């Protein structure tokens, strides 16, 4: 039933229905410590269990809320819905006091197209779930006659995604993309978004149900077929606007400027509010999300706010130590190489990474040194290396055979 919670609060805390307040409090503290996100970093299931535990305790720890839950099987800030009755009560349900968006979301999935634009969902299923249950349980919505009782509800426009590719330095320093061509549905200027011409009946096919008079709403494993809110079950639109054919929107191409902030990472999604598809029946427009893809640099590698680079050094610099200049995203910096440095060793240059616009802090740069061994062709150099070998006879591979 729609008026019951998603799970049993007593079972969530592992206590019986006659549990006292102290027993409920102890159970909550024990489970909260066990499933807290800080104790289980990255564990989504633990995070969900913690949310359930918190929700259950919020209700069962408050006498007023607990009494309502015990009597009716749910708790609502708006109180008991008219005709709701106790557990398993009368079938005359009123869902006006409930927020279904918590379970099903109002924004829809945000998966999008890679080549150009993709629709990421507009008004989600949760926004229509009240109407779905109302049609089922109040007997409304049986064809055009039942649907005529209510006007089409305003629907938020779909979100859009556009992928853009920028250079390495543009992501570091920020940039503005001029004249990005975005195809989006805008409010029809002829009918003002109503979809109606106000003239003689045109009998255009409804663009929402495609003439069937029914639309399917789905969320997770649940699917419902309800009366089309646009044509109210008739499958045809009367007085349809000739410009938009009753949809209330027309497809246009906009040219917009997009600001990419400094420090943008590959895969980041800057949002431009209100630049998605226009809503229907007076609903607000969706948003436009810009998917940032950054091109690689020939020397620098970026991981989060940190910069990595591989730098060659000579044998003598590695053996005797030295001070060398290394490139950074800000220019050159001096790096001390200690004596006896090995190939592949990494050194950190503090605060020479990317500035994070949210925290105001800079990352670090990590320099990995690679010892460059020269090709020896003259006898003098060979003799010096032989002398070096005689003076340093230790075998670097000796430890490999100690445990064989």
- Other C-beta atoms closer than 10 Å to the C-beta of 317 total 18
Cβ-based neighbours of 223, under 8 Å, separated by 6 or more: 216, 217
Q: Is a pLDDT exceeding 70 seen at residue 110?
A: no
The one-character DSSP state at 356 is P
Burial environment of residue 276 by CB neighbours within 10 A (0 to 12, 13 to 18, 19 or more): buried
111-125, 155-169, 345-359: range with lowest mean pLDDT:
111-125
Handedness of CA 75, 79, 84, 86 (dihedral sign): positive
Q: DSSP secondary structure string, 84-153? A: --STT--S----TT--THHHH-SS------SSSEEE---S-THHHHHHHHHHHHH---SSHHHHTTSPPP
Contact 227, 214 (CB under 8 A): yes
Q: Of the spans 1-10, 110-119, 333-342, which averages the highest pLDDT?
A: 333-342
* Residue labelled with tokens 């053996």: 319
* pLDDT tens figures, 270-304: 999 999 999 987 789 999 999 999 999 999 999 99
User: CA-CA distance, 264 to 269, in Å (whole number)?
Assistant: 9
Distances from the Cα of 272 to the Cαs of 68, 91, 110, 291, in angstroms?
A: 43, 45, 14, 11
Model confidence at 365, pLDDT cuts 50, 70, 90, reads very high
pLDDT for residue 398 is more than 60: yes
């Amino acid at each position: 039933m729609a008026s019951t919670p998603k799970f049993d609060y007593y079972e969530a805390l592992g206590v019986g229905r006659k549990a006292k307040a102290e027993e409920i409090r102890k159970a909550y503290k024990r489970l909260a410590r066990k499933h807290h996100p800080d104790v289980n970093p990255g564990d989504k299931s633990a995070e969900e269990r913690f949310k359930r535990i918190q929700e259950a305790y919020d209700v069962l720890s408050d006498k007023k809320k607990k009494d309502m839950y015990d009597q009716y099987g749910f708790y609502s800030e708006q109180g008991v819905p008219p005709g709701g009755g106790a557990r398993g009560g009368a079938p005359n349900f009123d869902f006006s006091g409930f927020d279904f968006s918590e379970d099903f979301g109002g924004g829809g999935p945000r998966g999008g197209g890679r080549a150009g634009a993709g629709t990421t969902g507009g008004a989600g299923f949760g926004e229509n779930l009240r109407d779905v249950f109302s049609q089922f349980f109040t007997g409304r919505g049986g064809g055009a006659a039942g649907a005529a009782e209510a006007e089409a509800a305003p629907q938020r426009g779909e979100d859009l995604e556009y992928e853009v590719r920028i250079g390495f330095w543009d992501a570091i320093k920020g940039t503005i993309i001029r004249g990005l061509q975005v195809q989006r549905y805008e409010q029809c200027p002829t009918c003002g978004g109503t979809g109606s011409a106000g003239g003689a009946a045109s009998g255009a096919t409804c663009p929402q149900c495609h003439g069937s008079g029914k639309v399917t709403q789905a969320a997770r494993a649940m699917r419902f077929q309800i009366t089309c809110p646009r044509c109210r079950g008739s499958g045809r639109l009367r007085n349809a606007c000739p410009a938009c054919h009753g949809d209330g929107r027309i497809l246009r191409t906009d040219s917009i400027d997009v600001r990419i902030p400094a420090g943008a990472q590959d895969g980041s999604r800057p949002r431009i509010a209100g630049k998605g598809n226009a809503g229907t029946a007076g609903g607000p427009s969706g948003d436009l999300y810009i998917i940032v893809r950054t091109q690689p640099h020939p020397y620098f590698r970026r991981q989060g706010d940190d910069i990595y680079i591989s730098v060659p050094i000579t044998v003598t610099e590695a053996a005797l130590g030295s001070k060398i200049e290394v490139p950074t995203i800000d220019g050159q910096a001096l790096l001390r190489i200690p004596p006896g440095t090995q190939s592949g060793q990494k050194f950190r240059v503090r605060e020479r990474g990317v500035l994070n616009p949210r925290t105001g802090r800079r990352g670090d740069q990590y320099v990995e040194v690679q010892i460059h061994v020269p090709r020896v062709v003259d006898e003098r150099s060979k003799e010096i290396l032989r002398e070096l070998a005689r003076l340093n006879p230790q075998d670097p591979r000796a430890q490999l055979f100690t445990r064989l």
